[in-house]
Amino acid sequence: MHLPALRALGLVGLLAGLTGCASYKLGPTAAFPAGQHSIQVASISNRTDEPRLIEAVNNALRKRLQQDGTYKLDTRGESDVVLTGVITHFNRSALSFQPGDILTARDYALGVTAQLTLKERGTGKVLFDRAVNGRTTIRAGSDLASAERQAVSLLAEDLARNATSLIVDGAW
């Protein structure tokens, strides 16, 4: 290649690289500095038949919000905003089957849906009210119940990751 062609190619590569990062934002994505506001995760209730979800979802939400750092996690009831919710759906669906046996599932997709509501403590104004999903996959093996029990924390973590993303980015 000739020198002008190499310069043009280099310039195109540089411009492509710069425009690829044009929407990147350094620091918190909320409209306020990280740690300026506090959040309380009130108990999440469960309308499903899966008993292990409440504790896993509550713990995962608290952990994820604390790790994110946009909101300070409040446990004393003095927070700026309060997160409440109801686990509305838990489902299991077969993804793949045992080789040579179309009736016995080998892998399952687990899904959970929670209706989460975020309110200002002082005014009661609803800031966020929507369904949030979480999902994971499991290999059933010889004991589906044990595999599900182990996967509940992964399922709750995925729901918490999705919820935290929606809450802190303010896309309400």
In this predicted model, what pLDDT tens digit does every residue of 54-100 receive, in sequence order? 999 999 999 999 999 999 999 887 899 999 999 999 999 998 888 88
Q: Sort strands 71-73 and 81-97 into parallel, antiparallel or unpaired.
A: unpaired
CA distance 147 to 141: 8
**Residue among 137, 132, 141 at smallest CA distance from 167:** 132
Average pLDDT, the chain: 84
Does a structural domain hold residue 108? yes
The CA-CA-CA angle for residues 76, 82, 85, to 5°, reads 120
Q: Read off the pTM.
A: 0.76
**Residue among 84, 151, 88 at smallest CA distance from 119:** 84
Domain with residue 122: its CATH number is 3.30.160.150
Does a structural domain hold residue 21? no
Does a structural domain hold residue 107? yes
Q: Provide mean pLDDT across the span 123-140.
A: 93
Question: One-letter amino acid identity for 164?
Answer: T
Does a structural domain hold residue 7? no
Residue 147 has pLDDT above 90, yes or no: no
Does a structural domain hold residue 10? no
Does a structural domain hold residue 111? yes
Structure-token pair, residue 84:
């409440």
CA distance 172 to 169: 8
At residue 23, the pLDDT reads: 47
**Residue among 145, 130, 159, 153 at smallest CA distance from 92:** 145
Q: Which of 15-19, 65-69, 136-140, 153-157 has the lowest mean pLDDT?
A: 15-19
Where are any strands of DSSP class E within 12-104?
37-46, 71-73, 81-97
Quote the number of domains for the chain.
1
Q: Provide mean pLDDT across the span 103-127.
A: 93
Does a structural domain hold residue 153? yes
- The range of the structural domain enclosing residue 159 comes to 38-169
Long-range contacts of 138-146 (CB under 8 A, 24+ apart): 138/107, 138/108, 138/110, 139/106, 139/107, 140/105, 140/106, 140/107, 140/108, 144/108
Does a structural domain hold residue 115? yes
Give me the percent of the chain exceeding a pLDDT of 90: 52
At residue 89, the pLDDT reads: 97
Residue 20 has pLDDT above 60, yes or no: no
